Structure formats: structure tokens, C-alpha cells
Homo-oligomer: A and B are copies of this chain.
Amino acid sequence: MIKVIKVGGGIIEKEENLNLFLDSFSKIKGPKILVHGGGRLATKMAAQLGYKSKMIEGRRVTDEKMLDVVTMVYGGLTNKKIVASLQAKGTNALGLSGADGNTVLAHKRPVKKIDYGWVGDIDTINSELLISLIKNNTVPVIAPLSHDGKGNILNTNADTMASEIAKELAQKEETQLILGFELNGVLKDINDKSSAIKKITPDLFKTLKSEGIISEGMIPKLSNAFDAVNAGVSSVIICDALRIGENEGTIISK
């Protein structure tokens, strides 16, 4: 079974947390792929370079300068630091942006009400390349960048990258999607770290939503998880990124 593991910006940002996460990640047996976010590192770098971040309705717009920053930070600094660190931990990592080997082909998001700039909506995943790397004992480490086939890099959401990659791999091999973040899983009580729900089925999801137990931010995450399961991914686990190999957290399945 292939494990597609996503780790978010909150973990990546702090060197100590990143190192703990990579320790756990490198100990996971069997074929695996890492998809990383970038978080606030790009925002910090943009500020240091004197670029103003454009926000519309609370969401970032990727203009040309910001595209250069995310390409540098996500595709260069973060990706290569992770790869070098995994190599030191005995894992033969290989970093990829969506442009490398045409791994993730996308198109620039069409302008409707809002122009998000150089942001990509994914069209195709090169699962053949990923599977061939995995079969050669190589661990792909994927930055949240796609390309449009016309020479442009596109800023792309890491959750979506991980989910689309898992869905595509699931057409060929049994695939699990693991979403690592700062909490122990989907919590029944946001103030109680030990209240992680073991398993969420579509029926339970409906109930939890109607009872208002699941918080607003978690609803799109869970909806995406069910989308992945419905598209053939065998299960989705939402768990603490620092305890990623421990089979803890919340399992989402049919």
C-alpha cells in the first residue's frame, strides 16, 4: 500500500517540529510520498524582500513577485532542506515540483469574481513517474507548485495536491492518504486533546455536522477526505504530524 502523507506549514515552519516530523516520517515502512505545504515562510520572505502581500477577502493573491517567492521558498529552500534531512535519516528522498517530470499539470485559475493570480487548478497527475520512483526505493517529496505546460509555475494548495495525487495513485495501487497537522485528529471537543474521534463514516459525518460538533475549518478537510475515499483511496487518516506512524488519529472511510 502506498502512503501519501501531507504535512502542513505549521509543522514545517519550526525547525524543531520539522525535524521531529521527519524522524517519524522516515521510520514509516513501505512505499510513501511526502507532500509539504509552505505556510508563513513565504509570507515572511516576501516581507523581507519588501513585497506587499495582496489579499482579497482574506485570501492571498499570487502576483508575479509572490510567484517567484513561493517558487524559491517552497520549491527551493523548504523542499531541499527536507530532502537533505531525509537523506541524513537514511531515506532516499527526491524533491519534485509539479513541473519536474510533468508531475502535476494544472491550469491557471480562471478569473471570475476574484483574480487569484498565478494559482493552479490541477488537471493531471503523472502517477507513472511517482510509481516508478517508489519502485526504485525513492521517496518523492512534493512542493505545493504545479505548472501549466506553457512555461509557468503555479502556486497550488498542498492539501489538494496530496488528495489529487492519492486519488490518481489509487487507480493503480492501494493508496492511503494521511493528513498530518497540529492536533491529534478530529476532536469531539476542541479544548480536549484526547477527544479525537476514532472513525468517521459518511453517516457519522452528517450527524456531527448537524449537531455542530465539527468546527467550520474541519468541514472542508473532511469533505475532501470523503471525496478521496469515494474516488478509490482506501482510507484517509487525519492525525498529529509528529506521531504520524503510530496509527493514531481519526480514520475516514466508507
Contact = CB atoms under 8 A, between A and B. Distances in A.
Interface of A: 48-50, 68, 71-77, 79-81, 83-85, 87-89, 92-97, 99-102, 129, 132, 136, 138, 145, 147, 149-153
A95 B94 contact: no
Contacts of A97: 80, 83, 95
Contacts of A74: 76
Contact of A99 (B49, B87, B149, B150): B87
Contacts of A129: 138
Nearest to A48: B49
Nearest to A95: B100
A152 B88 CA distance: 8
For the complex formed by this chain, how many copies does it contain in all? 2
A94 B100 contact: yes
Contact of A94 (B87, B101, B153): B101
A8 B48 CA distance: 28
B149 A88 contact: yes
17 contacts: A49-B49, A72-B72, A72-B73, A72-B77, A74-B76, A75-B79, A76-B77, A80-B100, A80-B153, A84-B99, A84-B147, A84-B153, A94-B96, A94-B100, A94-B101, A95-B97, A95-B99
